A and B are shown apart, each in its own frame.
Chain A
């Protein structure tokens, strides 16, 4: 179903600090994006951006930054400021989709204040900040589910710092778990198309709707900049794309009507993904949500 493109669509993913920030299976997010692109005939090039590498915003279509050990985060924070800050800002202001998980999320907020020692400065993309309240405050560890655009996102969180949002919008509302700070039920942060979150596990494999959403944002941005990205109404792009709206398996059509591309990513057989998703919901005691997810899948299957 993925063949037949004469001129394949290509996207380039910039993977920031793949060696330093790769603690919680972040590779899963990359593998998921790559495979989901591949199955639709989209070529996803992956470029690792390590310490010392510059970030030229026009070379990438989507960026990913993961989480790492404390020791690794300090040099990364410095490099982020000195080498990649301007490029990253330009990319984000230009609506490039960015996914920042865990430590990456913290680095894109204003600062990280450890229990001892000086603050670690972040980029300030998200109007948010993180405070570590010392060893006596328990880490936020466990499975987590949040609501996002009327659907659920599931993952695993493990963070010592508490993140507080200023004007930044949260990614979602915590259904079960800790979230940003275990106090206000917010999880993650959004600025334009940049998404920060504590969810790993990995995040994207079990949340195919979110993975596809990011891919769509990247495609829209690259292939039709004037396309109504529908950021205000992202649910249009999520979940159930009806069979009759699907592009026929006809490369001509896809090739010629690029505006179709983004709104209608070829649906994949994601039953296993959704079952894994639902099983986490069930583990968290969210049975209604799990049933909803599985029922939606059944309806999609017809």
Chain B
């Protein structure tokens, strides 16, 4: 349900001296004070910005024309080349400012929630798409919405930008943009070969926060000890969110299988002693306090007092804020998505959005790209659940296997740069949970063998998996296969082997590549049932592209917003 828009959505004002818009019911006191650079300088900048906009958009158009891809990031790259401060220049024109969202897991879903809520409240929302969360992606987002005169469309009136930002890009973005709201959702080990250790991310974030102006509102997860204490020394406003439902404690939920949880925040950031948990929901997320000093979980401003699983992919939560209770349906599977929803609710509160918009916004949200996305493939259903690090994977497994129903699963493990080239993290994932709970299981990706080995050591018999690697592993192996050869391989069709003594790789299905894996997994899924696809990041991109080509889902860059 869309709320009625204010009658004059574009107040007839031109530049700077923006006054509070009287007509806006929910954001009446919340426009961002704009910076006023000196006029002469500004004119030069406008020229350059205009040039950057034109060049960037031209490059984007050419790239799309040549089918080089979505043509989104090239826009930003070219524009930044011409005018490195393009982000700064355009961001200041956005009337309602910028909300940035970061964290290891849940950036895309959280920013999607916020975008839906704020759109529902009547704002024009500019939201960077999944995957374009580096500087160039942000530059693209702005440039696409700017005019050749270096001004944002409609001078950025009634606009707000929601930016999901890569963890490591936070310091750069904070230099370019003074965020109105900064959401820090969680911090887990992820791609250690790319991001470095968890501690180094924390110190980058602390530094970035110290550079934020006091007009920024920080939105922090009270239940993640790495996040909750980022605000130390910050002079602006801080809002915390958290879960206060003791029934979610792992101890109480312990099933039959041994649970393994990786903790990435074990010791107090203040004194170095270990935390003690009164409640632990997953990984290091819960109600903690230091065993030595005063430090403990802050009391959240927005708290979920009840979290109930409504069905596989719906949570019913009761959210309490300043004594008022609201019941909200979170239409996504997984406890982590409850946190994402709480983060979005709190961010929306920080920009004074009314509760009606918050509730309808959350309830009408669709799963973001590959994050619980549901795709109809003929008579079968596919659910895509991205899992890119140990904690994310653990929570996805917990979600998939929560109901004790044996599932049809396709795991895809890739080790491309965007996935992280080090796959040792799979040994920190609790695959033991899947034992005995799979009806059919296909393992694929560039590191299919590593994952199969992990599953074997978890106790899943090899005969219960179909391993479909990325390429054949043969004696004469090595010369890269051409497309035709790969096609020929496919035509050979899958024999689920062990039969052929000539074949060195006797345990592996006689077919290769993600397409075959997808076909096999779908074949093994009976009509009317759901196939759960759990890929790493580039695996998700490939699977999605494949599903797009089969006409099952729209191209992901064909967003609705542009």
Q: Which residues of A contact B (CB under 8 A)?
A: 19-20, 22-28, 31-32, 35, 69-72, 75, 141-143, 156, 158, 200-202, 205-206, 271-273, 275-276, 278-279, 282, 287, 290-291, 294-295, 297-298
8 contacts between A and B (CB under 8 A): A28-B454, A31-B427, A69-B199, A71-B197, A71-B267, A271-B506, A291-B475, A291-B476
Q: A290 — which chain B residues lie within 8 A by C-beta?
A: 473, 477-478
Q: Report yes or no: B192 in contact with A23, Cβ–Cβ below 8 A.
A: yes
Please, how many angstroms separate the alpha-carbon atoms of A22 and B193 in the complex?
15
Q: Report yes or no: B428 in contact with A156, Cβ–Cβ below 8 A.
A: no
Q: Report yes or no: B421 in contact with A143, Cβ–Cβ below 8 A.
A: yes
Interface residues of B in 464-520 (CB under 8 A from A): 467, 469, 473-478, 504-508
Residue in A31, A275, A287 whose beta carbon sits within 8 Å of that of B478 in the complex = A287
Q: Report yes or no: A279 in contact with B260, Cβ–Cβ below 8 A.
A: no
Q: Report yes or no: A297 in contact with B423, Cβ–Cβ below 8 A.
A: no
CB distance from A191 to the nearest CB of B (A): 25
Interface residues of B in 153-194 (CB under 8 A from A): 189, 192-193
Stretch with Cβ within 8 A of A (4 or more), from B217-225, B360-368, B445-453: B445-453
Residue interface mask B451-462, A partner, CB < 8 A = 1: 011101100001
Instruction: Check if B262 is an interface residue, CB within 8 A of chain A.
Output: yes
Q: A75 — which chain B residues lie within 8 A by C-beta?
A: 272
Q: B454 — which chain A residues lie within 8 A by C-beta?
A: 28, 205
CB within 8 Å for A28 and B427 given contacts A69-B198, A70-B197, A272-B453: yes
Residue in B198, B266, B457 whose beta carbon sits within 8 Å of that of A28 in the complex = B457
Q: A71 — which chain B residues lie within 8 A by C-beta?
A: 197, 199, 267
Q: A291 — which chain B residues lie within 8 A by C-beta?
A: 475-477
Please, how many angstroms separate the alpha-carbon atoms of A206 and B452 in the complex?
11
CB distance from A64 to the nearest CB of B (A): 13
CB within 8 Å for A35 and B457 given contacts A23-B189, A202-B424: yes
Name the residue of chain A whose CB is nearest to the CB of B449.
A276
Q: Report yes or no: A273 in contact with B453, Cβ–Cβ below 8 A.
A: yes
Residue in A19, A27, A273, A297 whose beta carbon sits within 8 Å of that of B427 in the complex = A27
Name the residue of chain B whose CB is nearest to the CB of A297.
B504
Q: B457 — which chain A residues lie within 8 A by C-beta?
A: 28, 31-32, 35, 205
Q: B424 — which chain A residues lie within 8 A by C-beta?
A: 24-25, 28, 156, 200-202
Most buried by B among A26, A69, A72: A69
Residue in A20, A28, A202, A294 whose beta carbon sits within 8 Å of that of B473 in the complex = A294
Q: Report yes or no: B507 in contact with A156, Cβ–Cβ below 8 A.
A: no
Q: A19 — which chain B residues lie within 8 A by C-beta?
A: 263, 266
Q: B422 — which chain A residues lie within 8 A by C-beta?
A: 24, 141, 156, 158, 200-201
Residue in A23, A25, A295 whose beta carbon sits within 8 Å of that of B197 in the complex = A23
Q: Report yes or no: A272 in contact with B198, Cβ–Cβ below 8 A.
A: no
Name the residue of chain A whose CB is nearest to the CB of B455.
A272
Q: Report yes or no: A276 in contact with B453, Cβ–Cβ below 8 A.
A: yes
What is the count of residue pairs linking A and B with beta-carbon distances less than 8 angstroms? 112
Please, how many angstroms separate the alpha-carbon atoms of A31 and B507 in the complex?
22
Please, how many angstroms separate the alpha-carbon atoms of A113 and B447 in the complex?
35
Please, how many angstroms separate the alpha-carbon atoms of A282 and B504 in the complex?
15
CB within 8 Å for A24 and B192 given contacts A70-B197, A156-B423: yes
Instruction: Check if B426 is an interface residue, CB within 8 A of chain A.
Output: yes
Q: Report yes or no: B428 in contact with A25, Cβ–Cβ below 8 A.
A: yes
CB distance from B444 to the nearest CB of A (A): 13
Instruction: Check if B425 is an interface residue, CB within 8 A of chain A.
Output: yes
Please, how many angstroms separate the alpha-carbon atoms of A42 and B424 in the complex?
26
Residue interface mask B505-539, A partner, CB < 8 A = 1: 11110000000000000000000000000000000
Q: A278 — which chain B residues lie within 8 A by C-beta?
A: 473
Name the residue of chain A whose CB is nearest to the CB of B450.
A276
Q: B450 — which chain A residues lie within 8 A by C-beta?
A: 206, 276, 279
Q: Report yes or no: B507 in contact with A271, Cβ–Cβ below 8 A.
A: yes
Q: Which residues of B contact A (CB under 8 A)?
A: 189, 192-193, 197-199, 260, 262-263, 266-267, 272, 421-428, 447, 449-450, 452-454, 456-457, 462, 467, 469, 473-478, 504-508
Name the residue of chain A whose CB is nearest to the CB of B426.
A25
Q: Report yes or no: A275 in contact with B189, Cβ–Cβ below 8 A.
A: no
Residue in B421, B462, B474, B508 whose beta carbon sits within 8 Å of that of A156 in the complex = B421
Most buried by A among B272, B450, B454, B476: B450
Residue in A22, A141, A295 whose beta carbon sits within 8 Å of that of B421 in the complex = A141
Q: A201 — which chain B residues lie within 8 A by C-beta?
A: 422-424
Please, how many angstroms separate the alpha-carbon atoms of A23 and B193 in the complex?
11
Name the residue of chain B whose CB is nearest to the CB of A291.
B475
Most buried by A among B260, B475, B507: B475
Q: B476 — which chain A residues lie within 8 A by C-beta?
A: 291
- Rank and list the top 6 A-B pairs by shortest CB-CB distance, nearest first: A28-B427, A25-B424, A25-B427, A276-B449, A287-B478, A69-B197
Name the residue of chain B whose CB is nearest to the CB of A19.
B266
Name the residue of chain B whose CB is nearest to the CB of A36.
B457
Q: Report yes or no: A158 in contact with B192, Cβ–Cβ below 8 A.
A: yes
Q: Report yes or no: B452 in contact with A272, Cβ–Cβ below 8 A.
A: yes
CB within 8 Å for A142 and B473 given contacts A22-B262, A202-B427, A276-B450: no
Q: A271 — which chain B residues lie within 8 A by C-beta?
A: 506-507
Residue in A206, A272, A282, A298 whose beta carbon sits within 8 Å of that of B507 in the complex = A272
Please, how many angstroms separate the alpha-carbon atoms of A201 and B428 in the complex?
11
CB distance from A181 to the nearest CB of B (A): 19
Please, how many angstroms separate the alpha-carbon atoms of A26 and B423 in the complex?
12
Most buried by B among A35, A276, A294: A276
Q: A20 — which chain B residues lie within 8 A by C-beta?
A: 266
CB distance from A147 to the nearest CB of B (A): 19
CB distance from A137 to the nearest CB of B (A): 14
CB distance from B86 to the nearest CB of A (A): 29
Q: A70 — which chain B residues lie within 8 A by C-beta?
A: 197, 199
CB distance from B496 to the nearest CB of A (A): 15
Q: A25 — which chain B residues lie within 8 A by C-beta?
A: 424-428
Q: Report yes or no: B475 in contact with A294, Cβ–Cβ below 8 A.
A: yes
Q: Report yes or no: A275 in contact with B508, Cβ–Cβ below 8 A.
A: yes
Q: A69 — which chain B residues lie within 8 A by C-beta?
A: 197-199
Name the residue of chain B whose CB is nearest to the CB of A273.
B453
Most buried by A among B447, B469, B478: B478
Name the residue of chain A whose CB is nearest to the CB of B469.
A279
Residue in B428, B447, B508 whose beta carbon sits within 8 Å of that of A27 in the complex = B428
Please, how many angstroms separate the alpha-carbon atoms of A158 and B194 in the complex?
10
Q: Report yes or no: B507 in contact with A142, Cβ–Cβ below 8 A.
A: no
Name the residue of chain A whose CB is nearest to the CB of B459.
A35
Please, how many angstroms separate the alpha-carbon atoms of A298 and B503 in the complex?
9
Name the residue of chain A whose CB is nearest to the CB of B465.
A272
Q: Report yes or no: A279 in contact with B198, Cβ–Cβ below 8 A.
A: no
Q: A205 — which chain B residues lie within 8 A by C-beta?
A: 427, 453-454, 457
Q: A200 — which chain B residues lie within 8 A by C-beta?
A: 422, 424
Name the residue of chain A whose CB is nearest to the CB of B476.
A291
Please, how many angstroms separate the alpha-carbon atoms of A302 and B137 in the complex?
56
Q: B505 — which chain A residues lie within 8 A by C-beta?
A: 275, 294
Please, how many angstroms separate the alpha-carbon atoms of A290 and B473 in the complex?
9
